[in-house]
Structure 1
Amino acid sequence: MFDTIGMQHIGAVVIGASAGGVDALSHLLPALPKAFAPPVLIVVHVRQGQPSLLPALFATRCVLPIEEPFDKDEIAHGTVYFAPAGYHMLVEAEGGEAPSIALSVDPPVRFSRPSVDVLFESAAHAYGERLLGIVLSGANDDGARGARAIRDAGGACWAQDPTTAPSPAMPLAAIAEGAVHEVLTLDAMTMRLSQCIRRQP
């Protein structure tokens, strides 16, 4: 379990959500302060063939920059990235270079593209023990194997308390996978995430 010191050493946060997840994100993201340090990479299942409206929606609600990235964009601190509709979003970190985003049109995983598992697994490889994964409300089991990859790499994973999730299947699957360190309410997540701030010089 991360304590306050551990929270300050998180290198990145990855979040997976599906049905009911936009409401959960509406609770979490606007509460992140301007000094929030890690990048936040998010996969939300959206209907295929339609553009995602999430970046525009959250850009008006959040103090952090909200981006829908392009392939090979370097990942910036304190920035929120939403996976574009129809693309897997991965983290690449090769040869000691700064982590960047890769977009893929590989086949859907667990019927989803973008896939939570694909993001989580690639981020676990890039960030290891400095990664925090969060599994929010959703109606399938996407994210469970990715959460296990985060845990196996030494990172930590939280799940939304299923009793508070409109669609509890996604957090329940991650919990059943044995991948979750803590089951938290959205209020508790918000409080803990607020500790991830840039240190003053």
Structure 2
Amino acid sequence: MNNEHIHRPYARVEAVVIGVSAGGLDALSVLLEGFPTDYGLPLIVVQHIPEGVASQLAVIFDRKLALRVKEANDKMPIESGCLYFAPPGYHLLVETNRHFSLSIDPRVHFSRPAIDALFESAADTWGPALAGVLLTGANADGAAGLRHIAEQGGLALVQDPAEAQVDTMPRSALALFTPHHVLPLAGLRELLLQLDC
């Protein structure tokens, strides 16, 4: 994929949000493989996690990746070049000062953390400087949030449903609007790496 495939309005992305559910561990492992230590954008992930269960995602991916990896905390400033995971039991939101906040508002699509909550708050903060990625999953969470990213001028990316371990989540997005790119994980990875150029 050459740089000309990334339209000019999306060449100055400042943050990436990623939503994933069933099949997420494998999908994220493929998507983020080979990201360099000096990758310049924050990567913020909501993976559906059962409440009351301690998340090991940050530990697992800290061992797998060259990136810095953290579990997001309330009021934590968002830093470039870091991979953040939402903690279980809380919606992860982005404030206008580009710090995180945690919320115990009602579940969205039976989920807390919910992808829609992250995507919508991040879109309101970064506007056209945001890229959103929706991956494999078993419900419709993330579809409306990804559309909101596109409506705010951001870049909307969806995993090819034919490749997804569970295709409900990407298909829900495609039923709601037309994203900018529908790609397999390898193509999404290449595009995200180019966004940091």
TM-score under structure 1 length normalisation? 0.92
Pick the aligned partner of 2:75 from 67, 72, 76.
72
Shift in Å, 1:6: 5.4
SS at match of 2:64: coil
Pick the aligned partner of 2:33 from 3, 8, 30.
30
Shift in Å, 1:192: 1.3
**Structure 2 residues not aligned, in runs of 5+:** none
**Which residue is 1:16 aligned to?**
19
RMSD: 1.6
Shift in Å, 1:165: 0.5
Amino acid corresponding to residue 106 of structure 1 in structure 2:
D
**Which residue is 1:143 aligned to?**
142
Shift in Å, 1:33: 1.5
What CA deviation, in whole Å up to 9, does each residue of 1:139-188 have, x standing for no partner?
A: 00000110111011000111100000110000000111105211001111
**Which residue is 1:162 aligned to?**
161
Q: Which runs of 4+ in 1 moved over 4 A?
A: 4-8
SS at match of 2:28: helix
2: CA distance, partners of 1:79 / 1:179: 29
Matching of residue 118 in structure 1 with residue 121 in structure 2 = no
The 5-angstrom pairing of residues 178-197 of structure 1 reads 178-197=177-196
Q: Is the 8 A contact 1:117 1:142 kept in 2?
A: yes
Q: Is the 8 A contact 1:20 1:167 kept in 2?
A: yes
Pick the aligned partner of 2:95 from 89, 92, 95.
92
**Structure 1 residues not aligned, in runs of 5+:** none
**Which residue is 1:152 aligned to?**
151
Shift in Å, 1:36: 1.2
SS at match of 2:131: strand
2: CA distance, partners of 1:25 / 1:164: 13
What CA deviation, in whole Å up to 9, does each residue of 1:103-128 have, x standing for no partner?
A: 11111111000000000000000000
Q: Is the 8 A contact 1:35 1:197 kept in 2?
A: no
Shift in Å, 1:62: 0.8
1: CA distance, partners of 2:88 / 2:135: 18
* Identical amino acids, percent of aligned pairs: 43
1: CA distance, partners of 2:118 / 2:190: 24
Shift in Å, 1:197: 3.1
SS at match of 1:164: coil
Q: Which moved more, 1:112-121 or 1:173-182?
A: 173-182
Q: Is the 8 A contact 2:10 2:154 kept in 1?
A: no
Q: Is the 8 A contact 1:151 1:179 kept in 2?
A: no
Q: Is the 8 A contact 1:7 1:195 kept in 2?
A: no
SS at match of 2:194: coil
TM-score under structure 2 length normalisation? 0.94
